[in-house]
Structure formats: C-alpha cells, structure tokens
Amino acid sequence: MKRILIILIVIMTGISCNNEFLEKIPTTSSVVENFYNSPTDAKQALTSVYNMLLRDDYWSLHIYAEIRSDLFAGGAGTGDGGGFQLLDRGLQWPETNAFQIHWTTYWGAIYRANTYLEAESQIDWTGNEKLRLQYQAEARFLRAYFHFYLTRMFGEIPALDRVISPDEIPARSSAEELYTLMIEDLKFASENALSEPYGQMKPENWGRATKWAAKALLTRVFMYYSGYYNQSEIAGINNSTALTYIEDVISNSGHNLVPEYASLWKVPCVSELGSLDSYAGETNQEVIWSVRFNNVGSGSYGGNQFVRMIGPRGTNIDPYGQGWGAMPVLPSFWNDFNNDDKRKKATILSWDDEGLTYNWETQQQAQYTGYSLKKYEILSIDGSPEPKPDWQTMADEDYIVLRYADVLLMAAELRSLVNGEGDAQAVTYLNRVRERAFGNSNYNYSNASINNILNERKFELAGEEIRYWDIMRSCKGDFSKLTTMLTYVDDNDGGDYSNSADTQSLDVDGSNFEKTKGLFQIPQNELDLMRGVFEQNPGYSAND
C-alpha cells in the first residue's frame, strides 16, 4: 500500500513540469523581441508603413478637402445624414467624431514609421549599409507625409519622432517644431532615398519614395508652412533654397509631362481620347509618387475605395461608372473654365453638354448640380461598373500624390516669389502646363503672377486634393479671407441642388471658416481619451 501511495504522490507532483508546460508561444505570429534580425525583416517592417497609405476609404481626406474647397458641393446620398453638405459650408459634421478615422489612421501610420526607425537598429546591416539609409529615408519620408496630412487637417499636432506608450499624452507642438521635424525628415530622404531618374529606376522599386518625391514633398510642405503661417523660413529652407530642391526635380528626375492631359486617368481618357488605348498608365513619366492601390486576391485595405464615392449615385452610363454621388462639381467651376481648355471636359462631366440624363432624385443623391467629377471616377463597361466583381472594394487605380505638372507650378511660384512675376523661367514653367492644356500657345501667360499660378493650379489640379490647401496657404495667416473664398452661396451657383430637406438647406455660417482657421474638428472621443490635455481647435464647440 505504502508503495502505491508513494507512486501516486510521484505521479501527482511529477506531472508538474509546470513552468515549461505553461510557457507557450504562438505558432502563427512572431514575438516582437526576436523578429527584427535581417534586412528582409526590415523590408517587411517598412512595407507595413507603406501599407497605411492604403487605408483611404469613403472618408478619404481627398474627398473631404475637395468638398471644403470652392469647386465642389457635398453630395452623397439623402440617407447619409447631411454631413457632406455641412462640410461644404464649413460647418460642423453632425457627429462629433466624424474625423476620428483620419486622426487614428494617420497616427497609426506614424506609429509604424517610428516603430521601424526604432527597431531597425536591432538588425544586422553588415554589407547593406546603403540599403539601411535608403530604408531609413523612406520611413522618414512617410513619417513626414503622415504628419503633413494630420497638421493640415488638425493644426499644431504633436511632432512624434518616437513610439509612445498608450498612456502617454503628448502636448501640441509649435508649428515650428512640427515643420522642422517634417523638413528634416524630408531633407534626409532627399539625400538618401533612391536617386535613379525615371526610366532608369528598377521596376520593382516603383512606389517607393524616391529622392525626387522627397524633394517635391519638401517643397510642398515648405510652401504650405510659409503660406499658412506666413513665415519665410523653416529649418534652413526658404523660397530660394526650396527652389533648388524643386528645380532639381525638374532638371534631373527624368520625369516630365505626358503629352495629353486626359491620358492620365482612365475615364477622361476614354471620354476625351476615344479609348483606354491612350491611357498613359499608372507608372507614366508624369507621376513622381503615387499611392499604389492594388487588389490582387481578396482581403481588405487593397483597393482604392474613395473612388467609389465620386461617381453619380446608382447610374452607369459608359464610361461613367456609378458611385455614391459625393463631390458634385459646382457650376461656377464649369463656367470658369475656358472652353478651349482640354482639361475642362477631362475634369468635369456635364450631363447636359454630353446629352446624358441622370435621374438624381430617384437615385437619392443628396445634391445634384448637373456636373460630376471625371478624374478618378470608376469606369463603366457595358453598363456595369469596373472592376468586377466588386467595384466598391476592388478599384485599383493609383492615387497620384505628386505629379510633374504640380512640380512645374511650384517652381514657377517660388521663382515668382524670389525674382518677381516677370521671371522668364517662371513664365516658361507656367506655360509648359498651359500649352499642354490648350494644345497651343494661344493662351500663354505673359507673366507668372501668384494669381495666375494659383488659377492655373485650380484648373490643372482640380479634384486632386490640392485646391483647398492652396486656398489655405494663400491666406497668409489672414483667415478672414477664407470666408469670401470658401463660402458657399446658393444663388451664385444656381440653387441649392438639394434633393431633400432641412439639413441640406441650412443657413450658411460664413464666419465659420474664419473661426476654425480652415481646420477640422478634432474628434471629441479622442479629446476625451486625452483627458483634457489636448484642446479642441478653435471654432468648434464640443456641444451639439
């Protein structure tokens, strides 16, 4: 008996391999401490930062910023709650957390960039020192890009160059600190990123932030800072030094304008040039940097989902594919366009002028102006939207962030600022864009006044998330100008276009753009989570 008892006790205690028994690691994911080892790991970690670019959805800032501009109405569906219309008028979205997704997504992107920059030191780079610098450059480019996105929307956000813990709440940084971080990141990228000119770049690197993209973005960031904050210099960059960056892109990047404006996007290409055969493709010479939407196989965050918002609601008339009716073009913009300007019909679909009918009331489109945006509209083939099977999630057209025409116009503007509006080179840059648009030199400008340049930017870059920020920076810190530039006046535009009811017929609060300095409302949820450390942007009450 005793022996049995002993055996039993041994069994009971002997099974207790205990600590080892309970030390379990996952089979399907790695653990942070031991993941970052080789350059391959680095490449994967960096890829995850790029991945954040793909999050754009129906809420894309691309759409929101354009709706706020003077070129587009709100649109969308009658069931969408009227937020788009209110946004158009500079008013508060009915839901106080409407912009939370912008806030969280792009802070998430900054987190991934910082995670990369902190973890990359664990990696053995022996023999790959140049690659290390290139990857660092790309991560810093993206960090700057995402900061720039957030600060234009929300103002003086914290400049984060490190991973913070979930309970740390950083304070707002000054504009100077914030822009210094962005400019320094972009300077580093300008020196260390891939530097082959267009045409010599390895195809597998298409989509990576290059030296040229960094220089163009640096110029854009500087110009926004100097305009919006009315400052002449930041982190050693002023108009003159910025000019050297942007002119380097003009001269040495190998990028150039494509001959036909309409060939840059699929739908304008079909409607204006006759068929998709003329499409310049996503990797054409004019594209300096774009977000590479792609939808190989299933899975979310692959397709370009904001394009589905733009088309006419519920109607496919080849080549105009359906969307959810957001961002209808204001008639004033159509009227402002010179009829000889080939960009007019490449940019805007005028239903009447093209002899098409669109029954917006039965389709429950909240606003209808008679005009839709063609650029980025999804394609319709045989009366059904492309791509199939799911036009809503599988659109894979790249979203162009930086293109050569913009570079030329930025250079023209800086030259004009440095040397005056008569600067011959500035006029040349400006007219290169203009001549392509008209197909001849009949409409060439004789001087490169800031006004001429901004006007040209409006027509050239409409619907590309440029216009609203151009207006913001052109105020030079005097936000009362926004009131006249952005206020939506029904009468001037020929009616309120509304399909129904109260929310679409709201009184226009013209002073709101001034009060908010053009910024967006910080989501109330986030302010609550930051326990009052962070203040709401001016002009927005947390109430109602």
Partner 1 sequence: MRIKQHTGIRKNSQRIFIYLLFTLLLLPAAYAQKRTISGTVKDATGETLVGVNIVIKGSSVGTATDIDGNYTLEVSNNNDVLVANYIGYIPSEITIGNQTLINFVLEKDIQDLDEVVVVGYGVQKKKLVTGATTQLKNEDFVKNNVVQLESAMQGLTPGMLIVKQSGQPGSDFNITIRGLSSINGNSPLVLIDGVPGSFSMVNPSDVESVDVLKDAASAAIYGSRAANGVVLITTKKGTKGEPVISYDAYYGVSNIYKTVDVLNARQYAEIMNEASFNSKPSRALPFTDEYIESLGEGTNWQQEALNENAPSQSHYLGINGGNDMSTYSISFSYASEEGIFDYDGKSKYQKLGFRINSEHQLKPYLKIGENLTYSHRERRAMGTGNIYNNFIHDLLQSNPLFDAYDEGSYDGFGRSNFYDEQINPVASMHYNFNGTNKTDDLIGNVYAEVEIAKGLKFRSDFGGTLNFGYNYSHRDTFTLTPYTYSSIPSYSQGMSRNFYYNFDNVLSYQTTIDKHSIEGIIGMNAQDGRYFNVNGSREGYLSNVAPVINNVTTNIDTTYIYGDYGEGDSRFSYFARASYNYNEKYMATVSIRRDGSSRFGRDKRYGYFPSASAGWVITQEDFMKDVAGLNFLKIRASWGQNGKEPADQFVYMARVGSENRYYTFGGEREVGVSPIIFANPTLKWEASTQANIGFDSRFMEWFRFTFDIYKKESKDWIMQTPVPGISGIDGISSSNPYINGGNVVNSGIELELGYQKSFGEFSIDMAANFAYNKNMVTEVPDSIIMGSASVLYNGSDEFYRVQEGMPMGFFWGYVTDGIFQTQEDIDNHVGPDGVKKLQATAKPGDVKRLDLNNDGLMNDKDKTMIGDPNPDYIYGFRLNMAYKGFDLSMNVQGQGGNQIVQSYRSQERFFNNYTTEILDRWQWTDANNNNVVDAGEGNGNRIPRVTLNDESNQNWRKFSDLYIHDGDFVKIKSVNLGYNFKTSVFKNTPIKQFRVYVAASNLLTITKYNGLDPEIGYGSYYDSEGKLRDAYASGIDVGFYPSPRTYLIGVNVKF
Q: Which residues, 144 to 203, sit near partner 1 by CB under 8 A?
A: 158, 160, 163-170, 202-203
If the CB atoms of residues 28 and 339 are measured against partner 1, the closer one turns out to be: 28
Q: Which of 38, 122, 174, 205 binds partner 1 (CB under 8 A)?
A: 205
Other CB atoms within a 10 A radius of the CB of residue 342 amount to 18
Q: Which residues, 423 to 462, sit near partner 1 by CB under 8 A?
A: none
Give the DSSP H or E segment for 87: helix 83-88
If the CB atoms of residues 43 and 476 are measured against partner 1, the closer one turns out to be: 43
The Cβ-side half-sphere exposure at 355, using a 13 Å CA radius, reads 0
Tell me the C-alpha distance between 258 and 271, whole Å.
Answer: 18
Is 127 among the residues that bind partner 1 (CB under 8 A)? Answer: no
Distance of CA 118 to the CA centre of its chain: 26
**3-state SS class at 313:** strand
Answer whether 317's CB lies under 8 Å from 378's CB.
Answer: no
Please identify, among the stretches 39-47, 255-263, 271-279, 304-312, the one whose residues bind partner 1 according to the rule CB under 8 A. 39-47
The least distance separating partner 1 from the CB of residue 10, rounded to whole angstroms, comes to 11
- Enumerate the H helices of 95-233 as residue ranges: 100-119, 129-154, 175-192, 211-228
401 phi/psi in degrees, rounded to 5 = -90, -45
Burial of 524 (0-12, 13-18, 19+ CB in 10 A): middle
Q: Which residues, 369 to 388, sit near partner 1 by CB under 8 A?
A: 384, 388
Please identify, among the stretches 123-131, 221-229, 489-497, 498-506, the one whose residues bind partner 1 according to the rule CB under 8 A. 498-506
Size, binding site for partner 1 by CB under 8 A: 107
Is 107 among the residues that bind partner 1 (CB under 8 A)? Answer: yes
Q: Which of 39, 58, 100, 254 binds partner 1 (CB under 8 A)?
A: 100
**3-state SS class at 77:** strand
| Nearest residue to 397 via CA among 280, 517, 231 | 280
Is 73 among the residues that bind partner 1 (CB under 8 A)? Answer: no
If the CB atoms of residues 21 and 339 are measured against partner 1, the closer one turns out to be: 21
DSSP 381: E
Q: Which of 44, 230, 240, 451 binds partner 1 (CB under 8 A)?
A: 44
**3-state SS class at 106:** helix
Cβ neighbors of 187 (< 8 A, separation 6 or more) are: 218, 235
Is 532 among the residues that bind partner 1 (CB under 8 A)? Answer: no
Angle between helix axes 404-419 and 424-438 (nearest 10 degrees) is 150
**3-state SS class at 286:** coil
Is 1 among the residues that bind partner 1 (CB under 8 A)? Answer: yes
Q: Which of 37, 38, 108, 240 binds partner 1 (CB under 8 A)?
A: 108
DSSP secondary structure string for all residues of 112-130: HHHHHHHHGGGS--TT-HH
Answer whether 271's CB lies under 8 Å from 345's CB.
Answer: yes
Q: Which of 122, 476, 501, 538 binds partner 1 (CB under 8 A)?
A: 501
Tell me the C-alpha distance between 42 and 25, whole Å.
Answer: 22
If the CB atoms of residues 12 and 200 are measured against partner 1, the closer one turns out to be: 12
Please identify, among the stretches 105-113, 231-239, 252-260, 454-462, the one whose residues bind partner 1 according to the rule CB under 8 A. 105-113
Answer whether 138's CB lies under 8 Å from 46's CB.
Answer: yes
The least distance separating partner 1 from the CB of residue 57, rounded to whole angstroms, comes to 13
| Nearest residue to 132 via CA among 36, 25, 13 | 36
Please identify, among the stretches 43-51, 68-76, 245-253, 439-447, the one whose residues bind partner 1 according to the rule CB under 8 A. 43-51
Interaction pattern, residues 388-427, with partner 1; x per rule: CB under 8 A: xxx-------------------------------------
Q: Which of 210, 322, 367, 380 binds partner 1 (CB under 8 A)?
A: 322
Q: Which residues, 261 to 300, sit near partner 1 by CB under 8 A?
A: 292-294, 296-300
If the CB atoms of residues 340 and 528 are measured against partner 1, the closer one turns out to be: 528
Cβ neighbors of 399 (< 8 A, separation 6 or more) are: 56, 62, 290, 291, 293, 304, 306, 376
The least distance separating partner 1 from the CB of residue 300, rounded to whole angstroms, comes to 6
Please identify, among the stretches 23-31, 177-185, 248-256, 330-338, the one whose residues bind partner 1 according to the rule CB under 8 A. 23-31
Q: Which of 121, 126, 127, 204 binds partner 1 (CB under 8 A)?
A: 204
Q: Which residues, 337 to 356, sit near partner 1 by CB under 8 A?
A: none
If the CB atoms of residues 254 and 314 are measured against partner 1, the closer one turns out to be: 314
